[in-house]
Amino acid sequence: MADAPASNTWFTYFPKDYRWSSAICGMLTGARWGGTEIGEVDQVGRRLARKMGDDNHWFREWVRMADRVRELGRAAERKGNNISAGEHYKRACNYYQMAERFRTPKDKKALDAFRKGVNCFHRFARLTDQPKIEIVEVPFEGRKKLPGYFVHAQNTRKAKPPVVVFFDGLDITKELQFMRGVEGLVRRGMSCLVMDGPGTGEAIRFRKIYLRPDYETAGSAALDYLEKRKDVNAKKAGIMAVSLGGYYAPRIASLERRYKACVAWGAIWDYYATWEKRIDESFKTELSVPGHHIEWILNAKTLDEALEKLDGFRLDGVVQKMRCPFLLTHGADDKQISLKDARALYNAVGSKDKTMKVFSVAEGGAQHCQRDNLSIGTTYMFDWLKDKLGA
């Protein structure tokens, strides 16, 4: 395991383990949205310290906490306390998915934990009406379907409000995305379609829909689905995505002109070069998941094969075609993707209306996708979307 240098710009539970510390940091900042309870995270963090770097230990301890919190949800539901039950189920979902995050290959224990997490989120969705959440299936390339959640807009009188399609990244899921700010987005008068795209979440684990470079196919499928709904204005649709989604969203907006605004929550420029460097350094660099995760999501048998499949994950020659308003947010101290890549992406985008917001160490949000201060990042992006889509 790589011994990444400690950073003095964000909280690290495990100063010599970037991967574990970044996951803990993301969970702590997600507490604002009810995705975690800081006391529960601290309990697990203290137990994890006994076997630092042991991913099996990580899995066991987070499943242990998830099971405990799920039981709180069940007990509350039996008493008819649905609001309390939903809150517990939401946190249990997060803990199950964070447990499974580092367990590869995805064996039966891993998939069972992930499935429990999804089921917990479904229980939360059915028990809450603030916001209203629909479990949806988006038709994709014939008989395939991409799983998602349609979250209804709040604080609006519009019968057909604007809508934002929100894709995940390399190792995020639609459930984790929801718990990182979607409730704040819909409070601004926009609906949100939160998606597991190819290579992520349920799409890869249970449907074998692997990561692919032509993500505009998923972006078009989402918009085709929204155009058939009578409760949104699909002509005022924005696209956003997080982390590796800094490749997805700009590519989609550049090639699918129906989108009226694009947000890259973290930059990607040349993903082939990014992984070539990581592989050359034997993964002794800052990574959010184990290095072999890339083989699994690409359905590659070797790292060489994975690199071949990553050859198409470049944005040069694509984003020059973008015409809709564009926002790129990036952290000044992002240890996964360089600020140089962010500048290259921003400079290449063809939109006349484009903004690059770099969050500094002093203001917070300087880490990858503002995981060290989630509120600063989400409020900036959501307000921008509200303005551009006329929510």
pLDDT tens by residue, 267-316: 999 999 999 999 999 999 999 999 999 999 999 999 999 999 999 999 99
**170 & 120 share domain:** no
Output the CA–CA distances (angstroms, integers) from residue 195 to 137, 192, 198, 314, in the order listed: 9, 9, 10, 22
- Residue 391 or residue 187, greater confidence: 187
| Residues in CB range of 342: below 8 A, 6 or more apart | 267, 269, 328, 330, 334, 356, 358
**140 & 123 share domain:** no
Tens of pLDDT, residue by residue over 46-60, are 999 999 999 999 999
Which of 2-16, 106-120, 232-246 has the least mean pLDDT? 2-16
| Residues in CB range of 5: below 8 A, 6 or more apart | none
Question: SS in 3 state form for 123-167?
Answer: HHHHHCCCCCEEEEEEEECCCEEEEEEEECCCCCCCCCCCEEEEE
**85 & 109 share domain:** yes
Joined together, the tokens standing for residue 78 give 């039996």
Q: Is the pLDDT of residue 3 over 50?
A: no
pLDDT interval class at 12 (50, 70, 90): confident
| Residue 6, pLDDT score | 40
Which strands sit side by side in the sheet containing 163-167, from one edge to the other?
A: 133-140, 144-151, 191-195, 163-167, 237-242, 261-265, 326-331, 354-359
- Residue 101 or residue 4, greater confidence: 101
> Cα(first)–Cα(last) distance of the chain, in Å?
46
Taking residue 301's Cβ as centre, other Cβ atoms within 10 Å add up to 9
CB 243 within 8 A of CB 169: yes
**68 & 211 share domain:** no
pLDDT interval class at 105 (50, 70, 90): confident
Q: Is the pLDDT of residue 7 over 60?
A: no
CB 196 within 8 A of CB 268: no
Cα angle 325-336-98, degrees, rounded to a multiple of 5:
95
| Residue 9, pLDDT score | 63
**237 & 147 share domain:** yes
Mean pLDDT of 353-361: 97
* Separation between Cα atoms, residue 134 and residue 33, nearest integer Å: 19
Q: Is the pLDDT of residue 1 over 50?
A: no
Range of the domain at 315: 129-391
* Separation between Cα atoms, residue 319 and residue 350, nearest integer Å: 6
CB 173 within 8 A of CB 200: yes
**121 & 261 share domain:** no
Q: Please report whether residue 7 resides in a domain.
A: no
| Residue 121, pLDDT score | 98
The amino acid at residue 20 is W
**99 & 231 share domain:** no
**77 & 221 share domain:** no
Answer with the one of 71, 106, 128 that is the final residue of a domain.
128
**301 & 167 share domain:** yes
Q: For tokens 């890259």, what's the residue? A: 264
| Residues in CB range of 68: below 8 A, 6 or more apart | none
The amino acid at residue 314 is R
Tens of pLDDT, residue by residue over 322-350, are 999 999 999 999 999 999 999 999 999 99
**110 & 224 share domain:** no
pLDDT interval class at 219 (50, 70, 90): very high
Q: Is the pLDDT of residue 61 over 50?
A: yes
For the chain, percent of residues with pLDDT exceeding 70: 98
Answer with the one of 128, 153, 185 that is the final residue of a domain.
128
Q: Which residues pair with 257 in a beta bridge?
A: none
CB 120 within 8 A of CB 130: no
**133 & 118 share domain:** no
Mean model confidence pLDDT for the chain: 95
| Residue 4, pLDDT score | 39
Joined together, the tokens standing for residue 290 give 């184990």
Tens of pLDDT, residue by residue over 106-123, are 999 999 999 999 999 999
Tens of pLDDT, residue by residue over 135-148, are 999 999 999 999 99
Mean pLDDT of 150-175: 97
| Residues in CB range of 144: below 8 A, 6 or more apart | 207, 209
Question: SS in 3 state form for 41-93?
Answer: HHHHHHHHHHHCCCHHHHHHHHHHHHHHHHHHHHHHHHCCCHHHHHHHHHHHH
Consecutive H or E run containing 19: helix 18-29
pTM, whole model, 2 decimals? 0.96
Split into its structural domains, the chain has a count of 2
**137 & 118 share domain:** no
Here the CATH number for the domain that contains residue 352 is 3.40.50.1820
